[in-house]
Structure 1
Amino acid sequence: MAIIITSLLFALFGAWFGVGGVWLITLGGSWYYAVAGVVFLIAAWLLYRRSMAALWLYAAFLLATLVWAIWETGFDWWSLGARGGLLVLLAIWLLMPVIWSRLSGTDGRAPLILVVLASLGVAGYSMTTDPYDMAGTLPTDKVTPEGALGANFPAGEWHFYGRSPYGQRYSPLDQITVENVDKLELAWTYQTGDVRLPSDVTETTYQVTPLKIGDNLYICTPHNLAIAVDAATGREKWRFDPQIGPENQRQHQTCRGVSYYKDASIAAGEACAERVYLPTSDARLIALDAATGQICPSFGNAGTVDLMEHMPYPKAGYYYSTSAPLIARDKIIVGGAVNDNYSTEEPSGVIRAFDARSGAVVWAWDPGNPDRTEPLGDGETYTANSPNMWSTASADEELGLVYVPLGNQTPDQLGMGRSEHVEKYSSSITALDLDTGRVRWVRQTVHHDLWDMDVPAQPSLIDLTTDAGTVKALVGPTKQGDIYVLNRETGEPVIPVNEVPAPGGAIEGDFTAPTQPVSDLTFMPKPLTGADMWGVSPFDQLACRIEFARLRYEGRYTPPSVQGTLVYPGNFGTFNWGGVAVDPVRQVMFGMPTYLAFKSQLVPRDQVPPADAEARGSEQGLNRNEGAPYAVIMGPFLSPLGIPCQSPPWGYVAGADLRTGKIAYKHRNGTVYDMTPLPLPLKVGVPGIGGPIITAGGVAFLGAAVDDYLRAYDLTSGRQLWKARLPAGGQSTPMTYTTEDGRQFVLIVAGGHGSIGTRAGDYVMAWTLPKQ
C-alpha cells in the first residue's frame, strides 16, 4: 500500500510540475520544473512497477536539482531550502524499508544516500554563511563634538516628533551604552484603554512617538485620545477625549504624535501657558493645556481649528491629519492625509501655518496653486486633489525654512491631466519660507510619479563636514530607497544625484518620464528575476514564478498596466514614515530598509464592480478612482500561501556614512516568530514599518519589525545587543529621556498595525538600567 500511495503522490507532483512547468516555459521562464514533472511521472511509473530504477532516477534528479539550486541562488539557505527541502524529505522516504524493500533490481540506495548527504552538507554549510550580509563599521570619531541638534531644551527631554525641529531622532543621552544596554529592565507599563474595534478600518494602527516635557509624557492614541502620564512611573495624569466618531471611508485611523508649545506671552503656571496640540482623524486641531488637559478656548473656535475650512469636496473621512504638526517660530505647520485612489474629487493637499496662540491662518501653501500663500477669503477654496504632506515637516529656524515631504496627486497610478504645478511638486522635498510660505527650492525624487512613491518621512537636518567645509545639509529617505543628502539652503545635492533611463510604455493617454533621479547613496535593491521567486516548497515557488512571468516588469519604475505590473520596491516603501535616524556628531545614519514587492493592475472603468456601501477604507485591494478611466487593484506580491513571493531577506538594519555617501553595513533584521503558526525564532530578515532612534551612547533602538520586539543595536557595526518582547506589534518609533533622579529611560508604544497584521494592543512601555 505504501508503494501505491507513494506512486500516486509522485504522479500528482509530476502533473503539477509538468503542467506548471510547461506554462512557465511558454512565459519565457525556467525549464527546470517541466523537467521535474517528467522525472516525477517516470518515477511514479517505476514505483508502481516496483523497480529499483526509481531510486537511481531520483538520485540523479536530486543531484541535478542541487547543482541547479546552487547555480541559481548560491549558498543561501532560505533559497536552497525552498527548492530542495521537500525533495530531500521525499528521498529520505524512499530510503525507508517500507519502500526500498519492496523494489527489485540493482540496489539504488547508495547513490541516493550519497546525494542526500551531499544535500544536507550543502544545507549545513549554507546555514553558516549569509551571502546577503554586508559587514562593516561606521566611523566612531566625533566630527562635530557639540553637534547641531536644533534643540534649545534639556538633553533629557523630547519636545518634537523627531526630538527637535531638525527631525534627527537623535538623543545626546549617553547613560545607556553598548556595554550596558543588555542590562535594561522593564520599569513600567501603561495601557491606554484605546483598543482596536471590530468597526475600525483595516489601517487602524498605533504609531505614536510620545513627547517628554518636564515630568510628563504626552501621547495620543489611534482614536485620538490625548493623555499625559508621569515619565518616571507611567501613572496617568489626565486624558482628553475628542469624541472621534467611526467613519468607514477613512483610510487610516492613527495618531503618530502630538505637538508642544510654550507661550511666552502667558506667565508660567497660568492656564495654557504650555500647550499640547492634538490632530484628529476627523480633521480638527485642538489646543489643550499641557498641565490639565483642558481645552484652551482662545485658540481657534473655542479651542479648535477646523482643518476642513476652505476645502473643496469636504467629504467625511477623505481628509485628516495622522502625523504630528511641526511648531516653529510660533507657527503650527499642518499637513494632512488625503485618501489615496478613492476619487478624482478629493480635498486639497494644502499645507497651512497657523498662529500657535490664536489659531489664525498665517499662510497657506497649496502645491496646486503655489504662487498664492495668503489666507483665503470667504467662499474661496484651495486646489482640489493637489499633492499633500501626510508625514511631518522639519525646520531650520535660523535659516527661516520649513522642509515638507510631499506626496502625489491621486489617482497615484494615473498621470493624465496633471497640471504643471502638480508635475513640479509631486513626490518632492520642498523648502518653504517659514514666515510667508513661499517656495525657496524644490527637489523632486520621482518624475511623473505613477507608483505612489510619496516622500514618506520627515527630512533630517544635519551640519555636514565636507571637503569644501561645513554644509547645512538635509537627509531625505524615500520609498524607492534613495537617500537624498541636500544642501538645505539651496536644495542642491551634497551627495550626487544622477538621472538614469527609465522604462517607457504607459497606457494610452498617459506618459512616462524618460529618466528618473537616483542618489549615489541608495538602498535601491537589485531588479528581481525568476530565480528570486520563493516559497515554502517548490510548488508555491513555481506558482510565484508563473505569476512573476505574467506580470509586466522591466525594473524600477515599470509603468502601471492593465496586464498587471510588478512594483519593486513596492509602495510600502524601502523607507516609510519612520524614516532614518542621523547622528549629528559622528555624521552617520541608521535605518531599516525594507524590500517587499507589490502588484498593481489597472481596471478599465466599465469593468469595475458596483461600489459596496459597507466596505471599509483600505489602501489594498480594489481602489475605485471614481471619476478616472481606470480603477486599480493593489497589494503585496504574495504566494498562494500568503507569504512573499520574493525570497528573503525582506528587511535589514543598515548604517551609512553621510560624509562619504557609503553604506557601511546591512544585516538581516527580525524573525518569523510571529509570522508562522509555530513560534520559530528564525532570523529571516522581515519587513517592518516604524523608525529608529540613535543615542550618544552609541546605541540605536528600533521596534518596527513584524515580530513583536524592541531591539538595541551597536550603531558602529549594526550588531544586535539586546531585545525585549512586546505584548503587541511595535510599529512606532521609540524615544528616550531622563527623569529627575537622572535615570535614562527608553520607551516604545506597542499597539500593532492593522494592514500588516501584527498583534493589536494599547501598551506604553519604558525600560531603564538597574538602580545602582
Structure 2
Amino acid sequence: MDEHSRTHSRWPPLLLLGLLLVAAGLALAIGGGKLLSVGGSAYYLITGIGVIASGVLLAMRRGAALWLYALILFATLVWALWEVGLDWWQLVPRVAILCLIGIILLLPWWRKPLHSRGGSLALAGSIVAAILVAIASQLSDPDRIEGTISNPNEAASTVNPAQVAGDDWPAYGGTNAGTHYSSLEQITPDNIGELEEVWRIQTGDVAGPSAPPEITNQNTPLKVNDSLYICTSHSRAMALSPETGETLWEFDPEVSTQGAEDFSLWAHMTCRGLAYYDAANYAAGSDTSEAADGSETGNNSAATSDTALSFDIFDNSDIFSLDLSFLSLMFGAEGAGNAQPMLSETDVMCPRRLYLPTADARLIALNADTGERCANFGENGEVDLTNNIGDFDPGGYYSTSPATVTENLVILGGHVTDNSSTDEPSGVIRAFDVHTGELVWNWDSGNPDDTEPLAEGETYTRNSPNVWAPISVDEELGMVYLPMGNATPDQYGANRSENDETYSAGLVALNLEDGQVEWVYQFVHHDLWDMDTPAQPVLIDLATNEGTQPAVVQPTKQGSLYVLNRETGEPIVPIEEVPAPQGAVEGDWTAETQPRSALNLLPPPLTERDMWGASPFDQMLCRIQFNSLRYEGQYTPPSLEGSIVYPGNVGVMNWGGVAVDPERQALFTGAKYLAFVSKLVPREEVEEGQGSASEQGLQPNAGAPYAVELGPLLSVLGLPCQAPSWGDVAGIDLQNAEVVWKHRNGTTRDSMPFDLPIGLNVGVPALGGPITTAGGVSFLSGTLDQYLRGYDITTGEELYKARLPAGGQATPMTYTGEDGRQYVVVTAGGHGTFGTKMGDYVIGYALPE
C-alpha cells in the first residue's frame, strides 16, 4: 500500500475520534491543573493525560487505546464510588460520558481496525461494571428518609379551634395562627387521584414590558360564605364564585408609579393576599367557633342566617345589600340575656370587609359584599402607609404580605428594598383601628419602648429592621408575633445600632393592646447573610412531656425550625449555640456562635465532592469555582474574594412557610437547597448609580463601604453547582422533634434546554407554601416545574399531580362550596426572578360530583 493509502486509512473515523479524545483530554488536563493549583482533586489532571494518550493511540490505530481507555473508565468508576458512593445523580457527571465514549469505541467500525480482542473485552468489562453500579444506584436514594407519621388517635390533644380553618378559608394561613390547616376531610389519600379541574379563570393582570424584574403572582385566595377573594400583582381585588370562578366584582386601586416613568426599576410587585374582618364574629355572646370537624372557627367566617332578610340601599349610583341580621346587633336581640352591643356606623355600612395592601403603599378597606370602598375607614376608605415613613425610591416601601386582623386592629409591616442603601424606610409595624383606620399603636424596632403614634411631621427610625412576612396573633393570650427582618444592607453590619442587633432576624412578641415588647428570641446574631425571618409564625398547642404547651413554630431560611413557648419565648425544642466561622472584612465583625435548633432541615456542609454538572467538564469548573471561593461552612462571612452562602439567602424555607396538622401534631414543608455567592465590592470600584433592579447581581449598598454581588452558585451551563436534590418535601413529628420522612420533590420538566419536556426527578426548588387537611392529604404547587401536587402526609408519597399553565409560586387553599364539595384552589401566575412561566390564572379542583 502506498503512503497516500496508508494515510487515508488512518483518517475518519478513527483519526477523527482520536482527535476528539485528545481535545477532551486537553480540556480535562488544563482544567485539572488549575483545580490542583487551588487545592482540588488531582483526578481531572491525571484522567486528562490518560484520555490524551488514549486519543493519540486511537488515531495511530493501536489496540492499546482500548486497554488504556478501559483502565481510565474502571479507575474513574472506583474513584467515583469512593467520592460519592451509590448516589445516581452524583455518579452521572463522573461516569456517564466516559461510559458513552467507551460504548462508541466498541462499535464495529471503530473496534475492528484496532485488532485488539483483549482490549475490547477489557473495555466491555469496565462498561458492564459501570452499568451494574448504575443499576445499584437506582435501588436507593441517599437523600431519602422513609418513615410514617402516626394518625390522630383518641389520646391526641384537643385541637384549639382558633388554629383550624373549616368550610371557609378566611385568613392567609387559614387562621391567624398560620397553621395552613383545614379540618375538611372529603379529599383523602384514597380518592385524591380522582381530583379534576372544575374551573379556571384569568384575571387579565399580566406582566408587561415595563414590569419589575421580580413581578410575581403569589396570591392565596380567601373564602368566606359565598365568595372567594383574590388580589393580583398590580393590587387589584376580585370576588369570585367559589363553585364556578365567575367574577362577582372587581376593584382596581390604580397603582401609582410614585413618580417613576414606569415600574421597571421597582424591585418587587406582588400581592400575597387580602385580610378579612366580620363584625359579627366579635358580637358579645356569639360563638361561631366549633371543633375541627369541618365547620367555621372563631374569627374565621361570617355568622350567617338562612332566614336573614336583605334589601338594597341606594347611595347615589352605588347599590349594596345590607343583611338585616345586623340590625339585631345594633338594637339588641329579644330578651335581656341576649342583649348585644351596638355596632359602629362603619360596621353597619361595611359589616364584612377586606383589607387590601397596595404596591404604592396604601391600605384600602373594601366592602366584602360589593367591592366598594368602606368610606369611613381612613380617607375615603384608605390609609396612606407612607405617613411618617420619609423618603424612599419608587416601589421601595409597601406591604407584600396581607395584614392580620383582630377584633379591633388591623396590623401590618412592610417590605423595604434590600441592599439599596443604608438610608431606607423604617421597618415599623403599625396597628390601625379596624373600623376607622386610625393609628392605635406603632412598634418601631429603632425606638422599641415608645409605641404611641407619631405626630405629624415626625419620622420613624430610618433603616430599622422590618417585618415583611405575615404576622400571627393569639387573641386569647393577647399577643402578636413578628418574624423580623434585618437592617439593610444585609452583608455589612458594622454601623448597626444596638436595637438593630437586638431585634434583627428573630421573633418578637408584642402585647396586642399596646404594642409593647413581651419577649424576643434571635435566630441569627449579627446577620450578614440575609437570613431574615421569612415566614408566618405558626401557633399550635403542642403536647410535650411537661403537658400541653402554647407553642409557636418559626420556619427559617437557615433550615432550623424553632419551637418556643409562645407565652414566654422559652425554647420547647432545645436550641444550641454552635461555633461560627470568623474573619469579617475590615471594620465589621462576626458573632462567635450562632443558634441552631435540634429540629432542623439543615443540609451537610458542602465539600468539593458535592460539586456537580451535566458532564465532567462543567463539574470540574464548578470544583475550581468552589475551591476559589471562601467557604468554612454555614455563616462563612462575606468577603472580597467571594463567599459561599449555604443554605443560600433564598432559604431552606421562605415566605410560603409550613403547614402544621394540630391533630397529628405533624408539620409538612418544602425545603430548598441552593448555594449562593456573596462578594463584597469596595465602594471605589462601584460607579455611581450602578446596580441591579433585582435582588441578584450588583447591589449598590449606598452609604456602606462595600457594594455586594449576589447570585446563585451556578455552572457555565446555568445549572446549580452543587449536586441535587435542590428541593425536597419533609414530614416532621413535632411531639418528638423528628424528621420522619423526606423525599425529592419536583422535576426538570420546565427547566430543560430547548424546552424539552423531560421530567428528571432530581428534586427542584419551590417558592410557595403547603397546606394540609384532616383528610390526611397535603398540597404544594411552588416547584420550578408547573404542577400542583398532592401528598399523603403520613408517608410523603406523591398521590396526585395536575399540570399548571404557568408557574405555581403561591400557596394553595381549600374550602367547602355551597354544593357540599371540597375545593382546592391555586394561583398559577409565575415568578419573574425564579424564571417560571408568567400567567394570570386561578384554578379550582374538586372530586367528581
Q: What is the TM-score with the length of structure 2 in the denominator?
A: 0.89
Which amino acid counterpart does residue 836 of structure 2 have in structure 1?
Answer: T
Of stretches 59-68 and 290-299 in structure 1, the one that deviates more from structure 2 is 290-299
Which residue of the other structure, out of 747, 763, 769, is the alignment partner of 2:841?
763
Equivalent residue number for residue 682 of structure 2: 604
Q: Tell me the CA shift for residue 441 of structure 1.
A: 0.4
Distance 1:674 1:158 in 2: 31
Confirm whether residue 111 of structure 1 aligns to residue 95 of structure 2.
Answer: no
Distance 1:207 1:130 in 2: 32
How much identity, in percent, do the aligned residues show? Answer: 54
Confirm whether residue 24 of structure 1 aligns to residue 35 of structure 2.
Answer: yes
Equivalent residue number for residue 131 of structure 1: 142
Question: What pairs up with 1:724-743 in 2 under 5 angstroms?
Answer: 724-743=802-821
Q: Tell me the CA shift for residue 112 of structure 1.
A: 0.3
Distance 1:149 1:37 in 2: 65
Confirm whether residue 427 of structure 1 aligns to residue 439 of structure 2.
Answer: no
Of stretches 566-575 and 247-256 in structure 1, the one that deviates more from structure 2 is 247-256
Distance 1:712 1:135 in 2: 18
Alpha-carbon RMSD:
1.4
Which residue of the other structure, out of 548, 551, 554, is the alignment partner of 1:470?
548
Of stretches 668-677 and 450-459 in structure 1, the one that deviates more from structure 2 is 668-677
Deviation track 1:126-147 (CA, whole Å, cap 9, x = no partner) reads: 1232121100011213454641
Q: Tell me the CA shift for residue 423 of structure 1.
A: 0.1
Which residue of the other structure, out of 684, 702, 705, is the alignment partner of 1:629?
705
Confirm whether residue 148 of structure 1 aligns to residue 224 of structure 2.
Answer: no
Equivalent residue number for residue 378 of structure 2: 300
Distance 1:739 1:583 in 2: 22
Larger Rg: 2
**Residues 542, 549 of structure 2: 8 Å contact kept:** yes
Which residue of the other structure, out of 157, 160, 172, is the alignment partner of 2:183?
172
Q: 1:238 to 1:198 in 2, by over 3 A?
A: same
Equivalent residue number for residue 535 of structure 1: 613
SS in 1 for 2:113: coil
Deviation track 1:194-220 (CA, whole Å, cap 9, x = no partner) reads: 111121111111111100011101100
Which residue of the other structure, out of 416, 432, 451, is the alignment partner of 1:373?
451
Q: Tell me the CA shift for residue 56 of structure 1.
A: 0.2
Q: Tell me the CA shift for residue 103 of structure 1.
A: 2.2
Which amino acid counterpart does residue 169 of structure 1 have in structure 2?
Answer: H
Equivalent residue number for residue 696 of structure 2: 620
Which amino acid counterpart does residue 188 of structure 2 have in structure 1?
Answer: T
Equivalent residue number for residue 233 of structure 1: 244
Which residue of the other structure, out of 400, 403, 408, is the alignment partner of 2:478?
400
Distance 2:789 2:161 in 1: 24
Confirm whether residue 54 of structure 1 aligns to residue 65 of structure 2.
Answer: yes
SS in 1 for 2:671: coil
Q: 1:397 to 1:105 in 2, by over 3 A?
A: closer
Confirm whether residue 647 of structure 1 aligns to residue 723 of structure 2.
Answer: yes
Q: Tell me the CA shift for residue 269 of structure 1.
A: 9.6
Distance 1:485 1:260 in 2: 28
**Residues 148, 463 of structure 1: 8 Å contact kept:** yes
Equivalent residue number for residue 283 of structure 2: none
Which residue of the other structure, out of 212, 218, 221, is the alignment partner of 1:207?
218
Of stretches 132-141 and 615-624 in structure 1, the one that deviates more from structure 2 is 615-624
Distance 2:728 2:213 in 1: 26
Equivalent residue number for residue 748 of structure 2: 672
SS in 1 for 2:806: coil
Deviation track 1:135-160 (CA, whole Å, cap 9, x = no partner) reads: 001121345464113169x7200111
Which amino acid counterpart does residue 126 of structure 1 have in structure 2?
Answer: S
Equivalent residue number for residue 452 of structure 1: 530
Which amino acid counterpart does residue 588 of structure 1 have in structure 2?
Answer: A
Equivalent residue number for residue 13 of structure 1: 24
Distance 2:692 2:683 in 1: 21
Distance 1:467 1:40 in 2: 62
SS in 1 for 2:482: strand
Distance 1:159 1:744 in 2: 15
SS in 1 for 2:162: coil
Equivalent residue number for residue 749 of structure 1: 827
Distance 1:753 1:576 in 2: 14
Distance 1:179 1:368 in 2: 53
Confirm whether residue 712 of structure 1 aligns to residue 724 of structure 2.
Answer: no
Which residue of the other structure, out of 589, 593, 611, is the alignment partner of 1:511?
589
**Residues 703, 710 of structure 1: 8 Å contact kept:** yes
Q: Tell me the CA shift for residue 74 of structure 1.
A: 1.0
Q: 1:431 to 1:551 in 2, by over 3 A?
A: same
Q: What is the TM-score with the length of structure 1 in the denominator?
A: 0.98
Q: Tell me the CA shift for residue 27 of structure 1.
A: 1.1
Question: What pairs up with 1:305-316 in 2 under 5 angstroms?
Answer: 305-316=383-394
Confirm whether residue 660 of structure 1 aligns to residue 723 of structure 2.
Answer: no
Structure 1 residue runs of 5 or longer lacking an equivalent are none
SS in 2 for 1:462: strand
Which residue of the other structure, out of 388, 398, 406, is the alignment partner of 1:320?
398
**Residues 668, 732 of structure 2: 8 Å contact kept:** yes
Confirm whether residue 122 of structure 1 aligns to residue 133 of structure 2.
Answer: yes
Of stretches 446-455 and 266-275 in structure 1, the one that deviates more from structure 2 is 266-275
Q: Tell me the CA shift for residue 267 of structure 1.
A: 8.0
Q: Tell me the CA shift for residue 40 of structure 1.
A: 1.2
**Residues 55, 109 of structure 1: 8 Å contact kept:** yes
Deviation track 1:235-290 (CA, whole Å, cap 9, x = no partner) reads: 00111111124433321111100111123525899532111111011111111111
Which amino acid counterpart does residue 162 of structure 2 have in structure 1?
Answer: G
Distance 1:594 1:488 in 2: 27
**Residues 748, 760 of structure 2: 8 Å contact kept:** yes
**Residues 248, 317 of structure 1: 8 Å contact kept:** no
Equivalent residue number for residue 268 of structure 2: 252
**Residues 15, 60 of structure 2: 8 Å contact kept:** no
Q: 1:269 to 1:453 in 2, by over 3 A?
A: closer
Which amino acid counterpart does residue 181 of structure 2 have in structure 1?
Answer: Y
Which amino acid counterpart does residue 248 of structure 1 have in structure 2?
Answer: S
Confirm whether residue 281 of structure 1 aligns to residue 293 of structure 2.
Answer: no
Which amino acid counterpart does residue 517 of structure 2 have in structure 1?
Answer: V
SS in 1 for 2:453: coil
Equivalent residue number for residue 479 of structure 1: 557
Distance 1:622 1:271 in 2: 50
**Residues 149, 584 of structure 1: 8 Å contact kept:** no
Distance 2:222 2:629 in 1: 45
Equivalent residue number for residue 562 of structure 1: 640
Distance 2:551 2:158 in 1: 16
Deviation track 1:277-311 (CA, whole Å, cap 9, x = no partner) reads: 11011111111111111111111111111111101
Which residue of the other structure, out of 693, 699, 702, is the alignment partner of 2:771?
693
Equivalent residue number for residue 193 of structure 2: 182
Which amino acid counterpart does residue 63 of structure 2 have in structure 1?
Answer: M
Equivalent residue number for residue 438 of structure 2: 360
Deviation track 1:375-397 (CA, whole Å, cap 9, x = no partner) reads: 00122100001101011000100
Which amino acid counterpart does residue 174 of structure 2 have in structure 1?
Answer: R
Q: How many residues align?
A: 768
Equivalent residue number for residue 44 of structure 1: 55
Deviation track 1:81-130 (CA, whole Å, cap 9, x = no partner) reads: 11111111111111122222222566411110111111112112212321
Deviation track 1:521-565 (CA, whole Å, cap 9, x = no partner) reads: 011110000110100000000000000000100000000001000
**Residues 222, 274 of structure 2: 8 Å contact kept:** yes
SS in 1 for 2:730: strand
Confirm whether residue 501 of structure 1 aligns to residue 560 of structure 2.
Answer: no
SS in 1 for 2:82: helix
SS in 2 for 1:721: strand
Equivalent residue number for residue 414 of structure 1: 492
Equivalent residue number for residue 197 of structure 1: 208
Which residue of the other structure, out of 223, 226, 229, is the alignment partner of 2:234?
223
Q: Tell me the CA shift for residue 324 of structure 1.
A: 0.5
SS in 1 for 2:693: coil
**Residues 188, 234 of structure 1: 8 Å contact kept:** yes
Q: Tell me the CA shift for residue 447 of structure 1.
A: 0.3
**Residues 249, 318 of structure 1: 8 Å contact kept:** no
Distance 2:673 2:648 in 1: 7
Distance 1:444 1:107 in 2: 67
Confirm whether residue 550 of structure 1 aligns to residue 550 of structure 2.
Answer: no
**Residues 308, 314 of structure 1: 8 Å contact kept:** no
Equivalent residue number for residue 369 of structure 2: 291
